[in-house]
């Protein structure tokens, strides 16, 4: 067993993995029978060890009861004081520091940036008011400097071969399709709302996919597999922000059969909006699954920026 697998299995059985890490491990277990057996063997080993320790503890208590009659009162007092100290120490540590899972979630949360920090009061003092002539000279200056530099920065390529983030997105995105989406319809039978939704998607009519989504019943509209299909159509139509929100929710709930594909598409959404840090996070998770479909593409992307 690899050392990193052992660490993940131990943390998994102890309930110390984040939601994202647990999803990765459980996906690997579902596809790797050897890893799944290792987890089961490890769980059995822990249970056997606990059982052994329980028997030892019972034997220790049995021996202690035999000795208790001979213990002097002052020894009982010392033991009681030590027990109180230990309990106080345990209680203090449990209430004095946050749970491990909470800290991990806080560190991995990169979805928001604080922009509401107030300016310290002392920075507002002793600033002389400019005269009317000085104000006319000062105000236009930053406007002329900021706009050209911002536009110039946006056009800079991010890849080693000179491609921009928008070009990399276009080169790597393709609406996901597999044979489960091919209805193989026969005859002129009337289509249900869901069948029409899937047919539009299979035929590449992505605007119709978005419009027909509203005709589905509530249960289907809340189904993460259906929402994944809709997110592909949104990405194709350039509605990246809406697609990104859908994919983030799908991954957070972890109830879709397209979990790897959703992470790949979310990484592309972040790439399209030039959020390279978050894009790299998703591509590295996809790489960890070691899937043939994305192996070469994700390795090439990670080398480019």
CATH of the domain at 236: 1.25.40.10
Mean local confidence (pLDDT), 230-252: 96
- Structural domain boundaries enclosing 255: 165-304
Sign of the Cα torsion 40, 262, 166, 273 reads negative
Please indicate whether residue 154 or residue 61 has the higher confidence score (pLDDT): 61
Shared domain check, 256 and 169: yes
Same-domain pairing of 288 and 193: yes
Q: What are the start-end ranges of the H helices in 69-155?
A: 73-96, 100-108, 132-138, 140-154
**Average pLDDT score over residue span 157-181:** 85
> From CA 33, how far away is CA 42, in angstroms rounded?
14
Q: Residue 189 corresponds to which tokens in the numbers above?
A: 């039978």
**Residue 64, phi then psi, degrees to nearest 5:** -65, -40
Domain boundary (60, 81, 108) is at 108
pTM above 0.75, yes or no: no
Among the candidates 108, 123, 153, a domain finishes at: 108
Query: Do 292 and 176 fall into the same domain?
Result: yes
Q: What is the pLDDT of residue 104?
A: 33
Six-digit token pair at 67? 């000795």
Q: pLDDT (tens digit, 9 = 90+) per residue, 88-100?
A: 776 666 554 334 3
For residue 117, pLDDT over 70 is answered with no
Residue 275 lies in a domain: yes
* Co-location of 85 and 183 in the same domain: no
21, part of any domain: yes
Domain end marker among 108, 141, 156 = 108
User: Looking at the structure, do residues 91 and 178 belong to the same domain, yes or no?
Assistant: no
Q: What CA–CA distances, in Å, run from 164 to 155, 159, 167, 218?
A: 7, 7, 5, 39
Q: Can you tell me the distance from the alpha carbon of 41 to that of 62, in angstroms, rounded to the nearest whole number? A: 32
Q: Are residues 225 and 295 in the same domain?
A: yes
Cβ neighbours of residue 157 closer than 8 Å, sequence gap 6 or more: 163, 164
Task: Read off the pLDDT of each residue in 82-109 and give the average, rounded to a whole number.
Answer: 54
Domain total in the chain: 2
Residues 217 and 87 in one domain: no
- Structure tokens, 14: 């102890």
């Amino acid at each position: 067993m690899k050392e990193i697998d052992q660490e993940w299995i131990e943390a998994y059985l102890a309930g110390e993995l984040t939601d994202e890490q647990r999803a990765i491990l459980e996906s690997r277990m579902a596809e790797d029978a050897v890893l799944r057996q290792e987890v089961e063997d490890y769980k059995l080993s822990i249970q056997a060890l606990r059982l052994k320790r329980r028997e030892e503890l019972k034997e220790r208590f049995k021996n202690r009861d035999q000795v208790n009659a001979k213990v002097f009162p002052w020894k009982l007092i010392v033991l009681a004081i030590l027990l109180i100290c230990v309990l106080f120490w345990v209680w203090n540590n449990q209430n004095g520091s946050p749970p491990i899972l909470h800290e991990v979630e806080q560190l991995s949360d990169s979805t928001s940036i604080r922009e509401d920090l107030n300016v310290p009061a002392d920075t507002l003092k002793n600033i002389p008011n400019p005269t009317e002539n000085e104000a006319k000279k000062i105000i236009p200056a930053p406007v002329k400097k900021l706009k050209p530099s911002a536009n110039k920065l946006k056009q800079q390529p991010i890849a080693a071969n000179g491609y921009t983030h928008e070009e990399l997105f276009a080169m790597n995105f393709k609406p996901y399709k597999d044979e489960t989406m091919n209805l193989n319809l026969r005859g002129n039978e009337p289509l249900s709302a869901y069948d029409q939704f899937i047919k539009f998607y299979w035929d590449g009519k992505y605007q119709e996919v978005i419009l027909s989504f509203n005709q589905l019943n509530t249960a289907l509209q809340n189904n993460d597999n259906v929402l994944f299909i809709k997110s592909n159509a949104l990405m194709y139509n350039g509605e990246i922000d809406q697609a990104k929100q859908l994919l983030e929710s799908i991954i957070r709930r972890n109830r879709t059969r397209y979990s790897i594909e959703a992470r790949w598409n979310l990484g592309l959404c972040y790439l399209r909006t030039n959020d390279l840090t978050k894009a790299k996070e998703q591509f590295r998770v996809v790489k960890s699954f070691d899937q043939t479909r994305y192996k070469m593409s994700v390795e090439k992307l990670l080398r480019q920026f």
